[in-house]
Structure 1
Amino acid sequence: MRALKIGKEIELLIALVAAVQGFYLSIISFLSRKRSPSALLLSVVFFSVTLRIVKSLLWVYAEDVELWVLNFGFLAHSVYGPALFLYIYCELYSKKWTSIFFIHFVPSLFLLLTLSSLTLDRFWYSFGYSTLLIHQGLYIVATWIMFLVGLRQGHLAHTIEKERKSWYMLLLLGGFLLQLAYFSNYILGLTPYLMGPVIYAIFLFVTSIYVFKYPQVLSASKGNQNIAIAPEHVERISKRLLEHMKTEQPFLNPNCTLGSLAKEINVQPYKLSYLINKEFDQNFSTFLNTYRIQKAMQLLQDENYRSIKISAIAFDCGFNSLSSFNTAFKKATSQTPSEFRAGNNLTDL
């Protein structure tokens, strides 16, 4: 095992600071999110990494640590990835906790039931720790993919504010670096054992500053709350939105976001998201694409656009790629753009 080449006292201090910060963030995240379904999950994320760091400290600095204490540290490690995944999932899709979520913690339950029996030589050193690190790595990758796909498809409509998106990315980056440090140490043998706690101490320091600057990120996203908007206010916003979409055509801008559109019609982003979801029964991405496809259909039927390639029309209508345009168009019309144009006796040259 490689040792971290800094003074023992500094090494210990950094790791202790990481543990204290993790515990602190666990407490305030739980207290700040009261009845939100992701309240416990975010608290568990920070608390699990606190226990994992404490286990690392005990392993390096303490002698004759009880087996169950070490196993409890591994148990905490196993909880981290699923808890982060479910937290982002609940935030991203405005989901409530359901019993099916417990399936993500089956490995953790196994470790809990075998705290006093799993030995280092016969389990952890033979295959257990490698399996745990791979398990966590897969969860981190899956969480990143879910987050990036959600951004692309507009599922972050209710949390499109820059501060909250940055918060999610900060958590994902910290999780990635932590798992990478432990993986690099044990599997690849490239980094010192306590590199994980040290890296995460830096991450938690940055996280604490971010929470201090933007405390609203610890509150549940507006998509997870009951929003009360007076019917007459809903009607005014709807009228303003539809008029703006008709006259200004903001959907033609491929970089149009919920935040930018809300600013253009002078309404809070979460209210606009609520309006689109409840009144139009669409998410933000689908709402925009509906207008874009209608515009594309007009152009595909226009004799003046007969010589214009379908890809050019797609980009002119606000789509970022031809593939996304083709997918959205066929979903809306049950035809490909080429079939639609051919049906109107126009040919894509």
Structure 2
Amino acid sequence: MFLALTLLGLIMIVGKSVLNNYMGLPSWLRVLGISGSLMIGPCLWLYGRSLFEKKEPSKSNFKAGPAFAAQRFHGPWTMDHRLFHLIPFVVFDLLCWAIPNGADFTSYLIASVVFLHLGVYLAVCWRLIIKNPEGSRLLPWYRSIVIGVTVIWFLYVGIFIGIIPLYILGAVFFSFLIYVFSYLLLKRHVFALEKYGNSAISPGTSKQLLERIKVLFETKEIYLESTVSLKVVAEKLSTSPREVSQAINEHGHMNFSEFVNHYRVARAKVLLADPARLQEKIETIAYDCGFGNVTSFNLAFKAETGTTPSQYRNQFSAA
């Protein structure tokens, strides 16, 4: 949802820039277009949080059962808290008829605040990117979006302060950016449709199946078995391996191996941080978490966290 609102904010600014350049819009419509900036910042940041800031399972999660372990897949905030960040956008839109948009000082000051608002949120987005490890699968995608919006922000700031004389340049670049993002999204979606075009289950059923897979993993902890496979999971859920793979690919956005390793690494992080097991060999923990060898454990752990198991453990050894 937040990605869609981010794109809507971009479209509002593009539309305002293009129409005003060729037709000349009344003040309130220009203000309405500018308000898109107040939507882009919060939604881009909240989209990043929805991608990365998911609750990690703690040691108690694995002991307390599925009711607690299932919380890992939900963000730390409720939707009501998130919507507070859109208050400036809503207020700006409701008062668009009264907000000046001319060459006077008040208009200049208001525009400065709007640009500053987006700039602050972009800074927070970059902080979110820096905090997350390079191994994160969604990081390159999110970073590309933030880079594009940041370039656009600099373009519009340059136009605003008079460094860049071509007003329409920002709109042109915005349009190109939206085209690129739309192409990437559609390309990914089309490939998914082609891969499962002959599937017997609907997207809704596939999503429900993913929830059943999660419950199975969190209650039975079958990821701890080194022999776990698509066939094993499918048999336990009375479905086919292809449908299990489809559910994880389409709605988990990863393959089966990555899905299993996600759980194993989460378990390993708990064990590595356990004071009672600080002297235990990394190899032992790897086997206890379901990995067949230390090499695959190190690779999976590095991909998931951006650090090695030894480096991760050292954080707690030093403490």
Amino acid paired to 2:139: K
Hey, what does 2:224 align to over in structure 1? 238
Matches of 2:139 and 2:174, distance apart in 1: 20
Hey, what does 2:154 align to over in structure 1? 180
Hey, what does 1:165 align to over in structure 2? 139
Shift of 1:124: 5.5
Show structure 1 runs of 5+ residues with no match.
Answer: 1-38, 243-265, 277-281, 300-317, 331-335, 337-349
Amino acid paired to 1:69: L
Identity %: 17
Amino acid paired to 2:167: Y
Q: Is the 8 A contact 1:181 1:191 kept in 2?
A: no
Give the counterpart of 2:7 among 10, 27, 46. 46
Q: Is the 8 A contact 2:273 2:313 kept in 1?
A: no
Q: Is the 8 A contact 1:133 1:183 kept in 2?
A: yes
Hey, what does 2:32 align to over in structure 1? 72
Amino acid paired to 2:41: G
- The yes-or-no answer on 1:286 pairing with 2:269 is yes
Give the counterpart of 1:137 among 119, 124, 134. 119
Q: Is the 8 A contact 2:12 2:36 kept in 1?
A: yes
> Rg: which structure is higher?
1
CA 267–55 in structure 1, closer or farther in 2 if over 3 Å, else same: closer
Amino acid paired to 2:34: F
CA offsets, 1:256-285, max 9 Å, x none?
A: xxxxxxxxxx94323442x34xxxxx8478
Give the counterpart of 2:83 among 96, 99, 102. 102
Shift of 1:84: 0.9
Amino acid paired to 1:268: S
Matches of 1:203 and 1:293, distance apart in 2: 52
Matches of 2:275 and 2:122, distance apart in 1: 34
Give the counterpart of 1:228 among 212, 218, 226. 212
Give the counterpart of 1:197 among 159, 171, 187. 171
Shift of 1:83: 0.9
Shift of 1:47: 1.2
Matches of 1:290 and 1:50, distance apart in 2: 46
Hey, what does 1:311 align to over in structure 2? none
Give RMSD over aligned pairs. Answer: 4.3
Secondary structure of 1:268's counterpart equals: helix
Shift of 1:205: 2.6
- The yes-or-no answer on 1:82 pairing with 2:42 is yes
Shift of 1:189: 1.7
Structural mapping, 1:231-310, within 5 Å: 231=216, 234-240=220-226, 267-273=256-262, 275-276=263-264, 283=266, 286-287=269-270, 289-290=272-273
CA 150–116 in structure 1, closer or farther in 2 if over 3 Å, else same: same
Q: Is the 8 A contact 1:75 1:112 kept in 2?
A: yes
Hey, what does 2:95 align to over in structure 1? 114
- The yes-or-no answer on 1:210 pairing with 2:171 is no
Matches of 1:283 and 1:193, distance apart in 2: 50
Matches of 1:270 and 1:128, distance apart in 2: 47
Structural mapping, 1:307-322, within 5 Å: none
Q: Is the 8 A contact 1:177 1:200 kept in 2?
A: no
- The yes-or-no answer on 1:329 pairing with 2:310 is no
State which drifts further: 46-55 or 194-203.
194-203
Show structure 2 runs of 5+ residues with no match.
Answer: 55-73, 194-202, 229-254, 283-301
Matches of 1:44 and 1:111, distance apart in 2: 16
Structural mapping, 1:1-16, within 5 Å: none
CA offsets, 1:274-311, max 9 Å, x none?
A: x34xxxxx847835854999566779xxxxxxxxxxxx
Hey, what does 1:4 align to over in structure 2? none
Secondary structure of 1:151's counterpart equals: coil
Shift of 1:225: 9.6
Amino acid paired to 2:9: S
